Amino acid sequence: MPGPAVRAMALQDLTFEVPAGASVAVVGPTGSGKSTLLSLIARFHEPTAGRIRLDGTDLRDWNRDTLRRSLGMVFQETFLFSASIAENIALGRPGASRAEIEAAACAARADGFVQELPQGYDTIIGERGLSLSGGQRQRIAIARALLIDPRILLLDDATSAIDPSTEQEIREAMAGLCRGRTVFRVAQRASTVRDADLILVLDGRRGVAVGRHDALLADCALYRELFADAGPPETLA
């Protein structure tokens, strides 16, 4: 009789320490464990080995609701409700004022297209926001994350459906808002990761390198391969 199936580890051999307020980029091929890492930080999954600590305390010892009120999350698949634009942005802070909602939308570069909708922020969007483009849905999700004023931002390829020029606008607008917060970004564009305080390189659901952009270009073959199409190393530094 065959023995019990051995479950593969979703993520292993990854050790790093992040100072409060630092920006962390997470890169790697498809299926390398990038989204899994963010899910572990958000406690959508619990580690079966090892630990993740926040302020020295194991995340499993944190109250889950308290932890998640400290997190702003923007994942690849943005879920929007059949409600107004304003209500969707204020999902994590139902008592937010209209001025606060609009300020978050402006920071996420969503205000322009929202103002063009029939009822502006009071426009009702369909389930999952199918009446909006992918880029518009992601900007609403970014505004939602910013509105809760989180200690930690989890951005899972949050600008994947946004054109490069709009992405640059969002990065500039978010720079001040991210200051003082710990930010984890899953990203594929060199422009998004090169200025990170720390870059985690994953492959085969393992951590293969941890460092800064210049050092990884010199020492990590996979990192160079991932960003080969972005131009020679001297143009990225």
Instruction: Write out pLDDT tens, residues 150-172.
Output: 899 998 876 666 677 777 767 66
155 and 145 within one domain: no
Say what the pLDDT of residue 90 is.
94
Q: Which two tokens stand for residue 232?
A: 């020679």
Judged by average pLDDT, the poorest of 1-5, 50-54, 87-91 is 1-5
Say what the pLDDT of residue 195 is.
82
230 and 163 within one domain: yes
233 and 193 within one domain: yes
Domain ranges, residue 228: 1-70+151-237
Percentage of residues of the chain with pLDDT beyond 90: 30
Q: Residue 82 pLDDT > 80, yes or no?
A: yes
181 and 167 within one domain: yes
Beta strands in the chain (DSSP E): 23-27, 53-54, 57-58, 71-74, 152-156, 182-186, 198-203, 206-211
Provide φ and ψ at 85, rounded to 5°: -55, -45
Q: Who wins on pLDDT, 1 or 168?
A: 168
167 and 235 within one domain: yes
Alpha-helical (H) ranges within 70-212 are 85-89, 98-107, 111-115, 134-147, 164-178, 190-193
Q: What is the CATH number of the domain that holds 65?
A: 3.40.50.300
Instruction: Write out pLDDT tens, residues 170-184.
Output: 766 666 667 788 999
220 and 194 within one domain: yes
The region that residue 156 occupies, defined by phi over 0 for left and psi between -120 and 50 for alpha, beta otherwise, is beta
Say what the pLDDT of residue 232 is.
44
Greatest Cα pair distance, the chain, in angstroms, is 66
200 and 110 within one domain: no
Count of domains in the chain? 2
234 and 180 within one domain: yes
Amino acid type, 145: A
Q: Who wins on pLDDT, 176 or 26?
A: 26
162 and 66 within one domain: yes
116 and 206 within one domain: no
Per-residue pLDDT band for 202 (boundaries 50, 70, 90) equals very high
Per-residue pLDDT band for 27 (boundaries 50, 70, 90) equals very high
Q: Residue 233 pLDDT > 60, yes or no?
A: no
85 and 65 within one domain: no
Q: Which of 100, 134, 149 is the last residue of a domain?
A: 149
187 and 137 within one domain: no
SS3 206: strand
Instruction: Write out pLDDT tens, residues 90-125.
Output: 988 888 999 999 999 998 889 999 999 989 999 998
Say what the pLDDT of residue 177 is.
67
